């Protein structure tokens, strides 16, 4: 099949999933065309079955906001016609599914058929999409897709309750490449971060308010009063300054290390004993899955789809949003008992393997075939 993929090219979960999906599909013989405004961050090996098409948005003084959706729609039309694309898979309802429908209508006028598969990832529904300014457009985009998937049961439920959806939504979870991660393992020089008596806690995110990054530090404060510890804060975002001020104010600068956006995630997880994720919203929790495949137990809230990934008492513990006392207590409980920690490490790894890419790719292939059959 010739499949065009539209996604955000950034470090966020949806962009990573879309890129890894395209790469995996290319390996088994499909021709994959990425259409976005910049080469996706994880698309570091362009093989003969992968093509990248940049969306260029001219900068005109007339526009206060440059019309990316129009440029994207036009680029989709151009790629579909030039490469005889069979199917378009868009990640995020807004603006991608909206632009895809516009492209579909333009192509229809020229005698081309373009089936659209839309994958919902989270903030396109729960945060941006549910805003009154966008809700009508998001509903229209979903209902005019030929097939809709969601990354979790929680997100499917949210979508069906927030919008008037007139078609079924199939849950296809996010995934991780178990074999690839095994090959990436390197010698773990943990002593460069902490001494042998110190425990290492880690948090990775985009540092947005929904991630509650100050809560991460507050949990760590409670833990390090009981156990010598270090905290690794990985990522960039609007809350970073706020959390750095908190760290400075509370005398934690030698204990809390900031790494910004890092390409050494695997190495940092190798150092780590516990992953902290006190989010108030998570449609799936891909970053938790990445921690678990490195045998790092997860202490998280039960927000959104997290309970579908992090199994309470198996791969880590779940707490209510904002219950920092519980999350700190659970962290101390695991780290205070070597045998318990080892059991949780193995439990996290075993749970993560259930989401191996080899189990998920056939689900997407099945969707593609079903959609194409309906168009013939």
Q: What is the CATH number of the domain that holds 312?
A: 3.40.50.2000
Phi-psi region of 212 (alpha: psi -120 to 50; beta: other; left: phi over 0): left
Same domain, 98 and 227: no
Which of 117, 131, 124, 120 shows the shortest CA–CA distance to 153?
Answer: 120
- Structural domain of 169: 2-175+356-375
Say how many domains are in the chain: 2
Same domain, 208 and 336: yes
Model confidence at 59: pLDDT above 90: no
Same domain, 205 and 216: yes
Same domain, 349 and 203: yes
Q: How far is CA 339 from CA 228, 246, 328, in A?
A: 19, 34, 19
In this prediction, residue 213 has a pLDDT band, given cuts at 50, 70 and 90, of very high
Same domain, 368 and 348: no
Same domain, 22 and 136: yes
Same domain, 349 and 360: no
Cis peptide bond prior to 95, omega within 30° of 0: yes
Model confidence at 184: pLDDT above 60: no
- pLDDT tens readout for residues 70-117: 889 999 999 999 999 999 999 987 788 889 999 999 999 999 999 999
Same domain, 226 and 163: no
Same domain, 87 and 163: yes
Which of 286, 291, 287, 303 shows the shortest CA–CA distance to 344?
Answer: 291
Does the predicted model carry a pTM greater than 0.85?
yes
The CA angle 86-135-73, to the nearest 5 degrees, is 35
Q: Are 221 and 331 in contact (CB under 8 A)?
A: no
Same domain, 146 and 211: no
- Chain center to CA of 180: 17
Same domain, 162 and 219: no
Same domain, 183 and 117: no
């Amino acid at each position: 099949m010739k499949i065009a993929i539209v996604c955000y090219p950034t470090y966020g979960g949806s962009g990573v999933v879309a890129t890894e999906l395209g790469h995996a599909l290319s390996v088994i013989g499909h021709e994959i065309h990425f259409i976005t405004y910049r080469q996706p961050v994880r698309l570091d090996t362009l093989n003969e079955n992968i093509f990248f098409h940049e969306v260029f948005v001219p900068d005109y003084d007339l526009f206060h906001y440059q019309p990316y959706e129009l440029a994207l729609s036009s680029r989709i039309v151009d790629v579909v016609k030039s490469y005889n694309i069979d199917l378009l898979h868009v990640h995020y309802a807004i603006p991608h599914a909206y632009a895809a429908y516009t492209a579909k209508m333009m192509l229809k006028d020229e005698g081309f058929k373009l089936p659209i598969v839309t994958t919902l990832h989270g903030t396109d529904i729960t945060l941006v999409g549910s805003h009154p300014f966008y809700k009508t457009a998001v509903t229209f985009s979903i209902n005019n897709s030929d097939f809709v998937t969601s990354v979790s049961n929680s997100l499917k439920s949210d979508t069906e309750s927030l919008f008037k959806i007139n078609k079924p939504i199939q849950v296809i979870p996010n995934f991780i490449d178990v074999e690839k991660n095994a090959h990436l393992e390197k010698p773990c020089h943990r002593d460069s971060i902490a001494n042998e008596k110190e425990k290492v806690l880690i948090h990775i995110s985009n540092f947005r308010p929904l991630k509650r990054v100050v809560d991460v530090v507050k949990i760590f404060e409670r833990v390090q009063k009981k156990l010598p510890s270090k905290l690794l804060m990985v990522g960039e975002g609007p809350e970073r300054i706020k959390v750095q001020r908190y760290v400075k104010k509370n005398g934690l600068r030698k204990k809390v290390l900031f790494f910004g956006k890092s390409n050494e995630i695997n190495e940092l997880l190798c150092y780590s004993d516990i992953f902290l994720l006190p989010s108030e919203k998570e449609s799936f929790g891909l970053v938790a899955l990445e921690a678990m495949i490195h045998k790092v137990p997860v202490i998280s809230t039960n927000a959104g789809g997290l309970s579908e990934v992090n199994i309470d008492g198996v791969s880590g513990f779940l707490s209510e949003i904002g219950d920092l006392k519980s999350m700190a207590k659970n962290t101390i409980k695991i780290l205070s008992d070597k045998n318990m920690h080892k059991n949780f490490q193995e439990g996290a790894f075993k749970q993560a393997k259930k989401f191996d890419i080899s189990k998920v790719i056939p689900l997407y292939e099945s969707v593609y075939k079903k959609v194409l059959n309906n168009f013939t």
